[in-house]
Amino acid sequence: MESGSNNDVIVVGGGVIGLTTAVVLAERGVRVRVWTRDPVERTTSAVAGALWWPYRIEPAARARAWALRSLDVYEELAARPEVTGVRMVEGVLGEADPDRAEEWAAARVPGLRASTAEEYAGSGMWARLPLIDMAAHLPWLRERLLAAGGVVEERTVTDFAEVAAPVVVNCTGLAARALVPDPAVRPVRGQLVVVQNPGVRTWLTSTGADGEMAYFFPQPGRLILGGTAVEDDWSLEPDPAVAEAIVRRCAALRPEIAGARVLEHRVGLRPARDAVRLEREPLPDGRVLVHNYGHGGAGVTVAWGCAEEAAGLAASS
């Protein structure tokens, strides 16, 4: 597809998936506009803890390829962390065994090793992975899109028929449930507590014997504590009891967290689906609808790989 007045693409959705897809399209010479219901700083992506690692995402083989392509990009972006929001940070994946790590991970992520007892009381895997500060990364993506000639508009779409463009890319996440409609998309509620960082420099993810998850991610000026994964829960109100439990679980892993001053409570609804929908759908009126949604909690992890595939589907129209 060559740029021109008859080759507009409208990307619906301004989270990390939509913005990254739009950046790839714009930098390939396509005239692209993003329609987003919320400012990018208030999308679901803005709430993400944003550690790069494939998490609850299918189909596994495609997700692996998307994730590895995204890793290539994040490693490059980490050279300018103050601009891109991407840093390479060390930490422990709890309940993971480097001897049993999938071959793709061992081959691509250097330095995987078993964690020590000082690093984590249970069995875990030490890794150096991209950690993305979404408060910086989302505005950076928007600016990169604008620099490539793209446009971002705050517009709410209630029907794809109202999107007047030859190619529409559906990056609406959870909203796809009603918009497509696709009842296979469902919320997985995640609650986070943001605290003043008491000096934690490494990240950690853990699943306790009771099945409850705990994780902490050091971001500039703060520490993100999590979390929860409650399926089919639509509530966006932080639950004080849940917040207390999150802090308690994280403090059990790093005692200094117990007294950290709470800065903010956050809730996000991950757009889960049994499998990511990334495909091209010809519409009866001759337009093309490219779907790119259903990434659950792994949107940041696969964003660039999915964006390139979606851009290819859009360009083949």
Q: What is the CATH number of the domain that holds 64?
A: 3.40.50.720
| Among the listed residues 11, 13, 16, the one whose alpha carbon sits nearest the alpha carbon of residue 297 | 16
Q: Is residue 202 part of a domain?
A: no
The DSSP code for 166 is S
Predicted confidence (pLDDT) per residue in 138-169, tens digit: 999 999 999 999 999 999 999 999 999 999 99
- Give the C-alpha separation, 311 to 140, whole Å: 20
Domain count of the fold of the chain: 1
Q: What is the pLDDT along the chain (317 residues), one digit of tens a residue?
A: 333 344 599 999 999 999 999 999 999 999 999 999 999 889 989 888 899 998 779 999 999 999 999 999 999 999 999 999 999 999 999 998 887 777 778 789 988 999 999 999 999 999 999 999 999 999 999 999 999 999 999 999 999 999 999 999 999 999 999 999 999 999 999 999 999 999 999 999 999 878 889 999 999 999 999 999 999 999 999 999 999 999 999 999 999 999 999 999 999 999 999 999 999 999 999 999 999 999 999 999 999 999 999 999 998 75
The per-residue pLDDT for 7 is 54
Q: Is residue 141 part of a domain?
A: yes
Q: Is residue 192 part of a domain?
A: no
167-170 β-sheet, strand order: 151-154, 32-36, 9-12, 167-170, 288-293, 277-282
Q: Is residue 310 part of a domain?
A: yes
Domain that holds residue 50: 1-85+133-184+274-317
| Among the listed residues 215, 226, 224, 222, the one whose alpha carbon sits nearest the alpha carbon of residue 253 | 215
Q: Is residue 98 part of a domain?
A: no
C-alpha triplet 135, 139, 140: angle, nearest 5°: 105
- Give the C-alpha separation, 112 to 207, whole Å: 19
Predicted confidence (pLDDT) per residue in 101-113, tens digit: 777 787 899 889 9
The per-residue pLDDT for 98 is 81
- Give the C-alpha separation, 267 to 192, whole Å: 6
223 close to 197: Cβ distance less than 8 angstroms: yes
Helix orientation angle between 16-27 and 299-315, rounded to the nearest 10 degrees: 40
Count CA within 13 A, CB hemisphere, residue 64: 10
- Give the C-alpha separation, 218 to 248, whole Å: 17
For residue 171, what are the CA distances in angstroms to 20, 229, 304? 10, 22, 13
Bridge partners of 222? 219
Tokens 């109100």, residue located: 237
Q: Is residue 171 part of a domain?
A: yes
Output the pTM of the full model: 0.95
225 close to 257: Cβ distance less than 8 angstroms: yes
The per-residue pLDDT for 5 is 41
The per-residue pLDDT for 79 is 98
Token duo for residue 134: 């979404």
- Give the C-alpha separation, 55 to 43, whole Å: 20
238 close to 191: Cβ distance less than 8 angstroms: yes
